[in-house]
Chains A and B, each alone.
Chain A
Amino acid sequence: MNKKMMLQKMILHALFKRKSRIAVALFAIAIGTAVIFSLLSVYLDINEKMSKELRAYGANLVIAPSDSGEPFLTEQQFNETLAVLENNVVGAAPYLYGVVNISNKQLVMVGTDFSEIEKISPYWKINGIWVSDKNLDGAIIGVTVAEKLKLNLGDQFSAISDTTGQKNTFTVKAIVKTGSTEDNQIFVNLVPFQNMLQLEGLMNVGYISASGEANFLTEKAKEISNQQPSLIAKPIKKIAQSEGIILEKIKSLVYLVVTVVLMSTILCVATTMMTIVLEREKEIGLKKALGAPNLSIVSEFLGEAILLGTCGALIGSFLGYLFAQIIGQSVFMEAISFKFSVFLIVIIASVFVTSIAALWPVRTVVSIEPAVVLKGE
């Protein structure tokens, strides 16, 4: 029997003969790896995920005509700016303002795109149904407007434009409550309102909700302003900057938590491994007495540790991936992506930690006299 086969046999023997101990160690390693795997996966995804969540605050970029000239921009110009932002656009709504007269009360009417409003302003609390793009006479009215004009869901009202004198009839499809200026305004589809004001293809401002950090937005805003000198793109600082701060805090919070968990998990795994090796003091003594060189004892324990570490990490990665999905689904309603680098890191870390933990006690044990150990104390 050559040396290599002997080593293999001894490692396998050590693993199978002491099932309960090995099971406990494997369990500890697997759970430790699982936790680290899931936390790292979540941590690496958190930027993107939280940034999406923070879009709940609504538009963070506004496109307006620059000071000189007409106070309008065209729909085509607006679409061109969206092209600059590529696929970072969460939603983009045009706004065309006009003052109208309804039962002798002056108020502000806004022509917009409701399907986009739904995306950029998830905080709108509406009572009723959203107006579809096809519905040319549907309107969503602010809660204060509803109160003051005594309008209810389904009611019809006619509005006369201050500038053109044209009269249109709309139906109340929903009442919106936001606590800000929207409460005092009436929202209708863009096209009928453009016709009413005789401003075909025009809008006053465009609100965009885009994912990305504050710096990215500032850069893109500059790019847009340079490309189209008749426009100004401005990040809404209150939203864009605060978002950056919050994101930073959350990232560092999760980072620190992951570090703490990592440390203590490593310690738990390490002590379990140490205990398993320490209880085999006598075995080591016996081997030494039989003439085994230190190197072969060390490589036996190392082999055992590497095998345990790898198996534990494999099981742990699988469990960890599942756990990451639980976190992803329950917190962000989205899957956490699988990252090969995380997998690699946990395998290496697990093998490294178990090996160090196994070798530490072995080191002290091999240096002592076999006779002393075998005798008992």
Chain B
Amino acid sequence: MFLKMLIKSFTRGMKRKILTIVTIAFGASLASAMLNVTLDVGDQVNKELKAYGANIHVLPKMDTLPLEIGGIDFNPLSDQQFINEADLPKLKMIFWANNILSFAPLLETTATIKGSEDIKIVGTWFDKKLVIPTGETINVGNTTLKPWWEIKGKWATDDTNEALVGQEVAKQLGITVGDKIDLTFENDNPPLNVQVTGILNSGDEADGQLFVSLSQLQQVLNMAGKVQRIEVSALTTPENDLSAKADEDPETMTSEDFEKWYCTAYVNAITYQIEEVIPGVEAKPIRQVAQSEGAILSKIELLMILLTVAALTSSTLGVSGLMTTKVLERSKEIGLMKALGAEDNQIIHLFLSEALINSIFGGLIGYFVGLGFSAIIAREVFGNSLTIKPLVFPLILLISIGVVVLGSLSAVRYMTKVEPAHVLHGR
């Protein structure tokens, strides 16, 4: 009998039922789209913020203080310490290896061109294919590390005599793309002949520098396998109290705190791990980038959470309001059932079963529509696909069942208290 009534109520008012399910589905789709986006927004925005470039510097542990003004170091090269180029792939072997997006080694010196003043020459990687110890091949270098670099012409190639010239140097010396120039170094180093493939506009001190392939520069300076520093770009988690505590001294932390800190992608946890795998270096977070990234990231996450709360509230109230109306419009039916001797419990049971079926259908449809919505958002805004969080699916089903059942329950209970005669009479 119960089943028959349940089926009847679905087959009879099919049109209205569809309206209900569509509304639930829309509410659920909104909720699922928002949850999907919010849960992923941190990672997505974090990647976007990588446009600000490297957030970690790796330097050899030094005895002297660098005398650097406006990007030019006044210390002679002979005083400096170096990092072994062979150690670089180790960056991809730390605990948070996957969060290391790109890096580039730097070897700097000065040279003169056609008797000009000293110009800073930087040996680096442009777009290097690197085989890491796990056997994978990855692309690292300035192409990925410095997305704001504008090149007139084309990027130089690694391990060739191609070079990029900063726009200020190019203007000063009248260098254009395709020119062949000789770099004359101090001491007795042989000159290096390079071919300019691009003029660089970077808007910072790199405009006054000349970039050549690392291996070429190492060769003429007789410093094979040596680099001065490494710039690293890593995905990090915003700082909090725990990472601040680790900033003082990781050794003083309790082992539990240490474990938690070590296994979270805080920027200082990553630098700590870099110092572990590469001996004799100091890895420093560049606070201008690392700190600001964290600040912006937490703002956006908070904003998205609040928007999600707003969206959830609106769809929840919308759906539960609809359910209340749906029950109220069947007051006569409830009155009749009561007049025929139905128990309150039976009526509630019947209505709730109906609501449950509605909500499951609505929730299911809504989840998939919501996936579509969030995919659109991800593609339009971040230009890539969304990672589907498995957590969202059960959450949406639970929310939609909860909202629909609760929305109906209050109305049904209210209706069961009414006198049948009263309702059936009409007013």
Using CB atoms and an 8 Å cutoff, list the residues of chain A in contact with chain B: 17, 20-21, 24-25, 27-28, 31-32, 34-35, 38-39, 42, 50, 53-54, 56-58, 67, 97, 99, 105-108, 121-125, 144-145, 148, 177-181, 183-184, 204-205, 234-242, 245-246, 249-250, 252-254, 256-257, 260-261, 263-265, 267-269, 271-272, 274-276, 278-279, 323, 326-327, 330-332
Contact = CB atoms under 8 A, between A and B. Distances in A.
7 contacts: A39-B310, A58-B288, A246-B51, A250-B300, A260-B33, A268-B322, A271-B23
B202 interface: yes
A28 B318 contact: yes
B68 to A, nearest CB: 5
A46 to B, nearest CB: 8
Given A179-B284, A261-B311, A267-B26, A275 B302 contact: no
Contacts of A234: 203
A179 B290 contact: yes
B322 A57 contact: no
Given A257-B377, A264-B30, A38 B288 contact: no
Interface in B386-424: none
Contacts of A17: 427
Contact of A32 (B19, B66, B318): B318
B319 A181 contact: no
B325 A276 contact: yes
Contacts of B311: 35, 257, 260-261, 264
A130 B66 CA distance: 24
A181 B70 CA distance: 9
B49 interface: yes
A179 B19 contact: no
B137 interface: no
A251 to B, nearest CB: 9
Given A237-B148, A237-B202, A268-B26, A256 B296 contact: no
A179 B296 contact: no
Contacts of B382: 249
A74 B289 CA distance: 30
B7 to A, nearest CB: 18
A271 B22 contact: yes
A268 B314 contact: yes
A265 B381 contact: no
B376 A256 contact: yes
Contacts of A31: 313-314, 317-318
Nearest to B202: A237
Contacts of B295: 53, 56
In the A-B complex, list the 10 residue pairs whose CB atoms are closest, starting with the nearest.
A237-B203, A268-B318, A279-B329, A264-B30, A242-B51, A123-B291, A35-B314, A179-B284, A56-B292, A28-B321
A326 B288 CA distance: 29
Q: Which of B53, B299, B382: most chain A CB closer than 10 A? A: B299
Nearest to A56: B292
Interface residues of B, number: 78
Nearest to A268: B318
B65 A144 contact: yes
A32 B310 CA distance: 10
A1 to B, nearest CB: 22
Given A106-B67, A124-B287, A275-B322, 5 more contacts: A180-B57, A181-B66, A242-B148, A260-B33, A268-B315
A41 to B, nearest CB: 12
Contacts, number: 237
B300 A268 contact: no
A109 to B, nearest CB: 10
A242 B148 CA distance: 7
B48 A249 contact: yes
B380 A269 contact: no
B347 interface: no
A120 to B, nearest CB: 11
Nearest to A267: B26
A246 B37 contact: no
Nearest to B147: A242
A181 B68 contact: yes
A249 B303 CA distance: 14
Contact of B314 (A148, A265, A279, A331): A265
A304 B19 CA distance: 22
Contacts of B314: 31-32, 34-35, 261, 264-265, 268
A27 B299 contact: no
Nearest to A147: B65
Contacts of B20: 271
Contacts of A245: 48, 51
B172 A67 contact: yes
A274 B23 CA distance: 11
B373 interface: yes
B404 to A, nearest CB: 13
B292 A28 contact: no
Given A31-B314, A238-B202, A257-B311, A123 B381 contact: no
Contacts of A184: 65-68
B34 interface: yes
B176 interface: no
Contact of A108 (B51, B67, B328): B67
Contacts of A99: 67, 69, 74
A22 to B, nearest CB: 10
Contact of A331 (B52, B67, B303, B373): B303
